[in-house]
């Protein structure tokens, strides 16, 4: 509960009313961003495309991995359509 001090009251109350056996604590860590130099050098080489949360740093609680993968797929399709 000490880790949740300063959170909004409903969150503190939710944690307070939960059994310690059912809670899990995960460290949130900063993931480095792919350097732009790597992106430029890799263009046109190999056959790997990384999308979604495999490429974009985000915490697992956001639930945005699939959404960003779909957005990435749209951008990739547009880029591929321009590269005749």
pLDDT digits (tens, 9 = 90+) for 13-72: 888 888 888 877 766 666 666 555 555 565 656 667 778 877 777 777 778 888 888 999
- According to the model, what pLDDT value does residue 40 have? 58
Domain ranges of the chain: 2-82
- pTM over 0.85? The answer is no
- According to the model, what pLDDT value does residue 12 have? 85
Helix (H, G, I), strand (E, B) or coil at 77: helix
> How distant, in Å, are the alpha carbons of 9, 13, 25, 52 from that of 22?
20, 15, 10, 29
- According to the model, what pLDDT value does residue 84 have? 66
Higher pLDDT, 25 or 10: 10
Confidence grade of residue 2 (pLDDT, cut at 50, 70, 90): confident
- According to the model, what pLDDT value does residue 44 have? 59
CB 66 within 8 A of CB 52: yes
- Paired tokens of 53: 């949360």
């Amino acid at each position: 509960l000490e880790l949740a001090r300063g959170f909004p009251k409903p969150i503190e109350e939710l944690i307070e009313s939960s059994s310690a056996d059912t809670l899990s604590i995960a460290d949130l860590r900063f993931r480095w961003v792919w350097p732009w130099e790597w992106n430029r050098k890799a263009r046109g080489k190999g056959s790997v495309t990384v999308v979604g949360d495999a490429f974009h740093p985000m915490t697992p609680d956001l639930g945005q991995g699939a959404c960003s993968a779909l957005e990435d797929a749209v951008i990739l399709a547009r880029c591929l359509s321009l590269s005749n």
